[in-house]
Amino acid sequence: MRVLVTGGAGFIGSHIVDELLAAGHEPVVVDDLSSGHRANVPAGVSCIEADIRDRSALAFAFNEAQPEAVCHHAAQVSVARSVREPDVDAQVNVVGTLNVIGEAVRVGALRFVFASSGGALYGETSGAADESTAATPISPYGIGKWMGEQYLAWAASEQGVAAVALRYSNVYGPRQSVEGEAGVVAAFCRDLESGVPLTIFGDGLQTRDFVYVQDVARANVAALEWARPGDCPAINISSGVAIAINTLASELNELVAVQQGREPVGSPLHEPARAGDIRHSLLDPSAAAELLDWHPEVTLRDGLDRTVAWRVQGDEGT
């Protein structure tokens, strides 16, 4: 399949491009390069620069690519920014997503995988949330992802799109940005490499479910190949294992210290919890196993090892 990957020069999107190539598909990248890097795009893969908020630029990209399928990963990804600037979040994550769906339908790219968010949609849960758990987003980011799912379900019902919304837990791994409000693993690595004590928002007893980026990329390829016309199931993609942020910080501190041949840095500093952050997030990935024959293959310890090793090799800019 010829697959257009929005956000394909970014963190998750670039790994999807790698997996698509490995599976024999033909990816084409569309990215505005606001956070992605051309260096993430493999040689020989076309990279069209376009902002998904700009319908005319997006139409040009789709006309050039002529895809059969779409993996939509271009997004505003910061929960904190969505709270500060909900209008910006909605322009990218709601209007932008509508634009991508519209262009996909226009050119007949009727297989569509959408990057959604389990933690942001489910909010606080008492156990592992499965897909029947009610969506109760507490941030504009979560609201935007929920709306994206609904618009895609409408397109499946009315236009016959074969769609899947993948609800990710916390994704981490190589190529994750360390700029601005980075993902927690990338941010912790950045600070530890500089010998700076970590800053943890809240008491650190909050828990998250981390899934390695290559596992997420494999799930996208599986979903594209499995998708059914007229249907748009939401499927959790996660490890199914929760870890406290304090524990994550301790493990990364030890790993980075070993890589750098020094003693671990001092105890973390604690700041007040941020608006929009949930206390506990854990997703049940059973549906992915049943429908997609997908299972996470990389344990958290192995994934952290790989991430730290990649950063030490000096490739963190890509």
Which residue numbers are catalytic? 141
Residue with tokens 């981490």: 172
Q: For 5, how many CA atoms within 13 A lie in the half-sphere containing its CB?
A: 32
Instruction: State the Cα–Cα distance between residues 129 and 93, nearest whole angstrom.
Output: 23
Instruction: State the Cα–Cα distance between residues 74 and 178, nearest whole angstrom.
Output: 18
Of 127, 146, 79, which Cα lies nearest the Cα of 283?
127
CA 181 to chain centroid, in Å, comes to 14
Q: Can you tell me whether residue 206 is helix, strand or coil?
A: coil
Residue with tokens 């020094």: 262
**DSSP notation for 142-200:** HHHHHHHHHHHHHHHHHH--EEEEEEE-EEE-TT---SSS--HHHHHHHHHHTTPPPEE
Q: How many CB atoms lie within 10 A of CB 301?
A: 10
Instruction: State the Cα–Cα distance between residues 17 and 306, nearest whole angstrom.
Output: 19
* Residues near 213 by beta carbon (within 8 Å), at least 6 away in sequence: 11, 12, 15, 171, 172, 173, 174, 175, 176
Contact 47, 75 (CB under 8 A): no
Contact 276, 80 (CB under 8 A): yes
